[in-house]
Structure 1
Amino acid sequence: MSRHRASRYEMRRNARRMRRYGIQPVATVNDLDVAPLVIVGIARLIWRYRSELAPLAIAASVLATGMILRRWLPEWWPTVVLSTIAMAAALAIGGRWVNLPRPIERGYAAFTTAFAGAWLTLAADLGPFTAPLPAVLGVGSLVLAVPWWAHRRRRARVRVERTLAAWPDIAQAVGLAGSRIQSAIVDLWGYRVRLKLGRGQTVEDAINKMPALESALGTRRGAIRIQPVPELANRADLRVIEKDPHADAIPWPGPSVTSVTQPVKLGLFEDGSLVRVPFLRRHGLFGGIAGAGKSGGVNVLLGDLTACPDAIIWGIDLKRGMELMPWASCLDRLATTPQAADGLLADAVAILDGRADHLTQQGLRVWEPSPDAPALIILIDEYAELIEETPGAERYTDSIARRGRAPAVTLVAATQRPSQRAMGKGAVRSQMDIRLSFRVREQRDVDLILGQGMLKAGWHAHRLDAPGKFLISAPEHDVPRRARTYLLDDEGVQRTAERHAPCRPSLDGISVAALEAHEALKASQGAAKPSPRHARDSGVREAEEALTLALRQAPDDGVSIGDLMQATGMRRTWVYQRLQDLGRTRQVEQVARGRWRALPEMDNP
């Protein structure tokens, strides 16, 4: 046995003896094989800084390729020239397909390719070490490496990779042990990762860990967004916003629609995509504290709707017109007092009833807006104040919310806090299909505006930190994504109103006739308080009389539903509803399937 091996054997034996008596031996440098550790350490450093060393690695590859070409393939220099031209042109023209979206990035890639190709051509023909080719390669590589080292997206990608390499420890620390990162994408504002959750974990669990994730990842407060992946319940998209894309106001680009049937453009999401939502046959609710940007959102909505020649807009602003008066030239009616608001809503219900009667008589299901038959949109600013100062308004708004969809009568309300007291006891809030929540002060207000359980599902409107930022809940937008509405200032409102005022439509003949019948009825009743169903009384009464007559004249085997529809001129649902009402009072009976007749109580009322 050699002296070196004997010495190592003796040290191991002494170490065993020390452990036997509870003493932990300390390893010395002589005990270790240093060379493999040094090699592993260098390899780890090279791998860690592989992005920074990439220009040097490419330069070394170009030098090696030049040596190979000169030694074995010197006659290939024309092929190198043609290949270089083709590759440089492809990068300059189609570089966006290889993750080079900006022209300056494509130009840099094309120039670098041309430099390497030119040097290889000369190296193949003259030799890679012929002066001044080595110096040109060295200096050129260093000069071209500077943009690479300084590129923001490359540095961000490296930082993200190093951060996410520690994800197992981060997940363990925040309570998401078992989750892992599947992919990562760096964009202009930060980065996005696809997160695969651990067994039994849900997206809600990850959402609840957002403050802990912000601390573990070292981001600013409110920088993390987590959204579910609809296809898989154990996946989530985690987005880190390093630079707020909504830090500055976004100027309004002008109207985006020419018809109320088209989706309105309200603003931009954080990824730059448009916030588009149709308002036809959908009621809307804008909520948020004072100064959060509700008025700005309403202005953007009016900027688009006033450009539609197939939509009439009525407004209610009990702040004496402070918010809606600048749009007065584009509003067909504007109520600024409780009495005027009550009359406006009563007329809106009259139009709704008149249109409903017309649709019934024509056998149609919905009112199709056009310049000759425009949709009616009623915009109410500070809805809670309307309900408080105009007690009769609640039944009108409730009727519009319940029945306004088919006749194209839409209600859009803006309020600070849509509590049950503020929204009344009717169905107004439950019928609001489109909900925009600007910043709220209390977390519970999120559920008041967006719906029960939305706060727990990740709709954190209380974290919005600037006027104009909002969350939108609609059939097309069912995940919490932050957005910011456009800025349409007072001068812009004035210019837009002046431009759109000359092309505003007039009320259609059916609606005008309904209003005239409403006025005549009020006059005949001595200006009594109107009923929200007054415009339908005449037509409905005639149909009910025809139904009663047909049932009384029915034979013993009864009369069919089709015959009753023909006799009354009403739809099947109306006939069934009346038959059920009469059946509950024992005035009619069902003889057979789909056949009815009157009972003696109907013949002798």
Structure 2
Amino acid sequence: MRPQQMRRNARRMRRYGLQPMVVMNSGDQLPEAAAVVFARWLWRYRSELAPFNVAALALIAASALHAIHPEWWPWLLGGAGLAASALVGVGERLGLARRVERLYAAAVTTAVGSWLAVGTALGPFVRPLPQLLLLGIVLLAGPWWAHRRRRARVRVERKLAAWPEISEAIGLKGSRVMSAVVDVWGWRARFGLARGQTIQDVTGKIPALESALGTFRGAVRVHPTPDDKANRFELRVLDIDPHADAIPWPGPSVSSITEPIDLGPFEDAAPARVLFLRRHALFGGATGAGKSGGINVLMGNLTACADVVVWAIDLKRGMELNPWSPCIDRLATTPEQARALLRDAVTVLEGRAEWLAARGQRVWEPTPEFPALVILIDEYAELADDAPDTAADTDSIARLGRAVAVQLIAATQRPTQKAMGGGAVRSQMDIRVSFRVRERKDVDLILGQGMLAAGWHAHTLNAPGKFLISAAGHDSPRRARAYLVTDEAVSATVHQHADNRPALDHVSRSALEAERDKPRQTVAEGAGDAIPEVAEPELPKRDESGSEAALWTLLSSAPDEGVTIAHLKSATGKGRSWVYYRLQELADEGRARQVTRGRWRATQSNS
């Protein structure tokens, strides 16, 4: 009211003999009415009072129906039965994830519906209906009050009710709660940000959020919303760490490299599935962070793929990868062997590229006859130190290997530019898997520049096997934990798949043989130090008096079901590649045939 209007009103009051009333207020709020206080209390404790509210509604409904339509009681009884059956059958779609929850909801529905039907027919106050109503409250309210998710939901609602004060305290004033959901491990909520605020502002305040919400350290996650709007974010808070204990490996998740491989579950139990076909990968992490465990999960899946040949380099004398050696086509454990392996890999990719170009094709589609070639290098930094001259070969594989399905997977503690050869290797890694690192700057070394500032806090991972993954389809920092592959699981997997591993395709073999037939280059005098001689990899050379004769003898005496590749390797003393090369030659000559996958024998005409 304007001052002139106030003075005018005062003059009118004096004219009629009335004195203006002055109210002195100390600034305290006026006391609220008792009804308002009571209503607010009922609303605050609506979850705890739910059993009483349901009983009261049933009593009111029974009274009304008994007075108006007492003949409806059969319909009420039948409806209660149908509703209970529906809750048991499709209650999971309504948020009742556990079977015991669905059974409890069905029991409550049956009890309330039956009591309502009888109360409608006879009247709700006819004995013993009131006593049965009280007994039902006592029996059915206990599980409701004790339910962990209900209590968690109430706790979350009360925390979110205080969000205006929390947001102001942590510097996010103006943000608002949009929705919230309680799940098995904790809760998640979607928030809208005030104008000018971004998700980066929220990411930098995660420690303050943990303090304001009263959680344990490392319990808060901040992600973009699925619609990827810049003025929204999703907050996830864990009450229980789902990755606190190791998670046993359930076995291979794929049978072809064309399928995404499951490395381990995220915190919401969703699998961390990654497609490795035509993608190079980098696994990084400090000592003891679980990097080797992640490599074991990958190897366990690759051995089950019938369209992958695995070559590996382990310069710790095979200490890490030797248990998988029956499923590895070539395993290099010395710098000399590593040089030869990588040089041959470049030869393979060049041979495949020429073969594809001659047929007007652009990509190599893996099959058991034309498998992909995966080169796994454990502790890449050791290779860079012990065989620095391999940098050019790894650079070529990184740049040119995708289209021809020659892929590089490197594992290292710190993928510095020096360790990665100073070339294109690290920049070509499409898949980045980071286990715990010691220093914050290592996050950007493994996952890419700027990832630490974007919330990829790999230095806060607090248990071996926990990792962050950056790849196509995984563009937000979600924590996962790699499966635990025990020694027994490795042995069982190797035993199951060792005899079914594919051989290198004839295109790659021809390229390697053509390279071997070239005359060796010599270094001219004064042109610098010669490259030291390296151990040639095992190739299928004629050896009629030894291994070749043993191979033929075993094939000729094989039973109808054939002999396994493992037996042929043992009898000849040769590796898998040599055995497969010889078998293919014999098959081309019509002297041997494959009975079933992994089993061979001589043809009937030569046996």
Quote the residue 1:449 is aligned against. 446
Pairing partner for 2:98 from 96, 99, 102: 102
The 8 Å contact of residues 443 and 455 in structure 1, kept in 2 or not, is answered as: yes
SS in 2 for 1:350: helix
Quote the residue 1:340 is aligned against. 337
The 8 Å contact of residues 321 and 336 in structure 1, kept in 2 or not, is answered as: yes
TM-score, length of structure 1 as denominator length = 0.81
Q: CA deviation at 1:260?
A: 1.4
Question: Is residue 296 of structure 1 aligned with residue 293 of structure 2?
Answer: yes
- C-alpha separation in 2, matches of 1:413 and 1:53: 59
Letter in 2 for 1:252: W
Question: Is residue 194 of structure 1 aligned with residue 190 of structure 2?
Answer: yes
Letter in 1 for 2:487: D
Relative to structure 1, the CA distance from residue 25 to residue 216 in structure 2 (aligned partners, 3 Å threshold; closer, same or farther) is: closer
Quote the residue 2:471 is aligned against. 474
Letter in 1 for 2:500: C
Deviation string 1:96-121 (CA, Å, 9 cap, x unpaired) is 23222222111111111111122122
What 5-or-longer segments of structure 2 have no aligned partner? 1-17, 525-529, 534-607
Pairing partner for 1:135 from 131, 154, 159: 131
Question: Is residue 412 of structure 1 aligned with residue 409 of structure 2?
Answer: yes
Deviation string 1:512-563 (CA, Å, 9 cap, x unpaired) is 12111222225465997499xxxxxxxxxxxxxxxxxxxxxxxxxxxxxxxx
- C-alpha separation in 2, matches of 1:118 and 1:25: 57
Deviation string 1:485-505 (CA, Å, 9 cap, x unpaired) is 111011211111121110011
Quote the residue 1:277 is aligned against. 274
Quote the residue 1:324 is aligned against. 321
SS in 2 for 1:114: helix
Quote the residue 2:56 is aligned against. 60
Relative to structure 1, the CA distance from residue 463 to residue 68 in structure 2 (aligned partners, 3 Å threshold; closer, same or farther) is: same
- C-alpha separation in 2, matches of 1:289 and 1:85: 59
SS in 1 for 2:342: helix
SS in 1 for 2:408: strand
Identity %: 59
Pairing partner for 1:349 from 337, 340, 346: 346
Quote the residue 1:46 is aligned against. 42
Pairing partner for 2:161 from 165, 185, 188: 165
Deviation string 1:565-601 (CA, Å, 9 cap, x unpaired) is xxxxxxxxxxxxxxxxxxxxxxxxxxxxxxxxxxxxx
The 8 Å contact of residues 73 and 117 in structure 2, kept in 1 or not, is answered as: yes
Instruction: Name which of structure 1's ranges 225-234 and 309-318 shifts more when overlaid on structure 2.
Output: 225-234
Quote the residue 2:84 is aligned against. 88
SS in 1 for 2:33: helix
SS in 2 for 1:214: helix
Quote the residue 2:498 is aligned against. 501
The 8 Å contact of residues 289 and 436 in structure 2, kept in 1 or not, is answered as: yes
The 8 Å contact of residues 388 and 421 in structure 2, kept in 1 or not, is answered as: no
| Mapping of residues 396-545 of structure 1, within 5 Å | 396-521=393-518, 523=520, 525=522, 529=531
The 8 Å contact of residues 395 and 423 in structure 2, kept in 1 or not, is answered as: yes
SS in 2 for 1:363: coil
Deviation string 1:213-258 (CA, Å, 9 cap, x unpaired) is 0100111111111111243111111100111111111111111111
Quote the residue 1:214 is aligned against. 210
Question: Is residue 236 of structure 1 aligned with residue 233 of structure 2?
Answer: yes
Over aligned residue pairs, what C-alpha RMSD do you find? 2.2
SS in 1 for 2:476: coil
Deviation string 1:356-387 (CA, Å, 9 cap, x unpaired) is 12122222111121111111110000001101
Q: CA deviation at 1:127?
A: 2.2
The 8 Å contact of residues 522 and 530 in structure 1, kept in 2 or not, is answered as: no
Higher helix share: 1
Quote the residue 1:151 is aligned against. 147
What 5-or-longer segments of structure 1 have no aligned partner? 1-8, 17-23, 532-605
Q: CA deviation at 1:122?
A: 2.1
- C-alpha separation in 1, matches of 2:27 and 2:217: 46
Q: CA deviation at 1:25?
A: 5.9
The number of aligned residues is 510
- C-alpha separation in 1, matches of 2:30 and 2:477: 56
| Mapping of residues 552-591 of structure 1, within 5 Å | none
The 8 Å contact of residues 346 and 530 in structure 1, kept in 2 or not, is answered as: no
Letter in 1 for 2:428: Q
- C-alpha separation in 1, matches of 2:94 and 2:363: 49
